[in-house]
Amino acid sequence: MKAKSNPLAALLISLAAVGVMGLASVSVSPVAAQEKKPTVSRELAKTLKAAQEAIQAKNPKYAEGLAKLKEAESNPKKTPYDQHIINELSAFAYAHTGNAAEAAKANEALVNDGFSQPSEIPARVKAVAEANYALKNYDKAIEYGLRAIKGGFGDEQIRTVVGQSYYLKGDYKGTVKFLQPIIDADIKAGKTPRDTELQIVMSSCEKLDDNDCQTKSLERLVTYYPKPDYWKGLLYSLRNDRALTQSDRNSLELFRLMSEVDVLQHGEDYTEMAQIAMDQGSPGEAQRILEKGFQKNVFADQRSKDKNTRLLEAAKKAAATDRAQLPQLEKDADAAPTGDKAIGVGRAYLGYGQYDKAVEFLTKGLKKGGLKSDAEAHLLLGIAQLKSGHKEDAVKAFRQVKGDAPLERIANLWILHAKQA
């Protein structure tokens, strides 16, 4: 009988071979008995020897061997050690014939019967966990996976088996409870947490409708695996955070970051950003974001195109007026006792993409002080510095965003982007 092709069975073959190949021959040994070593009973010796010979023949006869093993197992005179040998031979035969479920069952028995060598236990425990995971026996996979971890021989593969088993059985709280401390420990130790573990936790948090947990997982994915999809998931998640976007100012700051990492994807997002920019006194920024939207063809239907065409024309008209006033606004800012007017000029230059001029006036405003929002000014300065190619200065500015929780959170994400740029 030829072995069936089954990757799950292959997982168990080497383990089965460990015990079986160590059985030079199944027999009753008076010497072994004198040394108090276990040996098969006289009643089953002949049957077990026949099973072993069939299974280990040059041309194995697995069906014949398994039939003999079933005969031995049904014998009421079998001893616990007889059962151990039956399990070893069964594990070997079932693994080679592609019956992973029975092979896993036999290996589980070998783990727990007290006769296996201590050196064999770790590999067998892990194999039982992985086999049961593949067989969708998730409770058993978790049981043996945790046993491996508690025993100190649970590797990354076993961590994945346990985490995914919790998830696939629908125990999302259990998934987070198991994986979150592992991720935290990796980060504390200076290690990079595994992408798969972060994704499983994020998905579990989503299933639990735990937005804070989901956002935290997305932030970590963005930190360690800055893929566009992760940035998009994180920033759109933050768009739904009312505490973060309760003001137009905060919404605009979040939109700026979304535009910078190129995850704005809906026409209405471009429209809303442009409208807020206009209201916040940055028509140049409104013009640029709408032009970007038309370039990306995000305005799908004619009604949307017409609406945003009108908005773009209004932004261009307002920007032309604003530009003409900038020289006077600069003079007014220089003469003002506080820095708010200079910040306004810096914000305008940032919107027009004149980043060096933006840095100049934002810096002036911060030096003068007396600002309505130091946090916003430092955030704008960091953006201007990053856009003008001064990454280290930008990071320093972002770190000065203090005292405003929503802007601090956005600034921290700008730092991540700056480091990854």
Spatial distance between the Cα atoms of 76 and 372, rounded to a whole number of angstroms: 89
Spatial distance between the Cα atoms of 259 and 122, rounded to a whole number of angstroms: 51
pLDDT of residue 29: 47
pLDDT band for position 393 (cuts 50, 70, 90): very high
DSSP letter for 4, please: P
The residue from 53, 82, 116 where one domain ends is 116
Q: Are residues 299 and 293 in contact, defined by beta-carbon separation less than 8 angstroms? A: yes
Per-residue model confidence as pLDDT tens digits over 314-344? 999 999 999 999 999 999 999 999 999 999 9
Tell me, yes or no, whether 189 lies in a domain: no
Spatial distance between the Cα atoms of 181 and 91, rounded to a whole number of angstroms: 36
pLDDT band for position 36 (cuts 50, 70, 90): low
Per-residue model confidence as pLDDT tens digits over 144-189? 999 999 999 999 999 999 999 999 999 999 999 999 999 999 999 9
pLDDT band for position 26 (cuts 50, 70, 90): low
Tell me, yes or no, whether 179 lies in a domain: no
pLDDT band for position 5 (cuts 50, 70, 90): very low
Tell me, yes or no, whether 193 lies in a domain: no
Q: How many structural domains does the chain have?
A: 2
State the Rg of the chain over Cα.
Answer: 34
Per-residue model confidence as pLDDT tens digits over 397-408? 999 999 999 999
Q: Are residues 235 and 258 in contact, defined by beta-carbon separation less than 8 angstroms? A: yes
Structural tokens at position 373: 């929002």
DSSP letter for 183, please: H
Tell me, yes or no, whether 395 lies in a domain: yes
CATH number at residue 397: 1.25.40.10
Tell me, yes or no, whether 223 lies in a domain: no
Tell me, yes or no, whether 206 lies in a domain: no
Q: For residue 259, what are the domain limits?
A: 229-420
Tell me, yes or no, whether 143 lies in a domain: no
CA atoms within 13 A on the CB side of 33: 7
- Confidence (pTM): 0.77
CA dist list (Å): 50 to 76, 79, 82, 92, 115: 18, 18, 14, 15, 22
Whether 286 and 411 share a structural domain: yes
The residue from 116, 131, 156 where one domain ends is 116
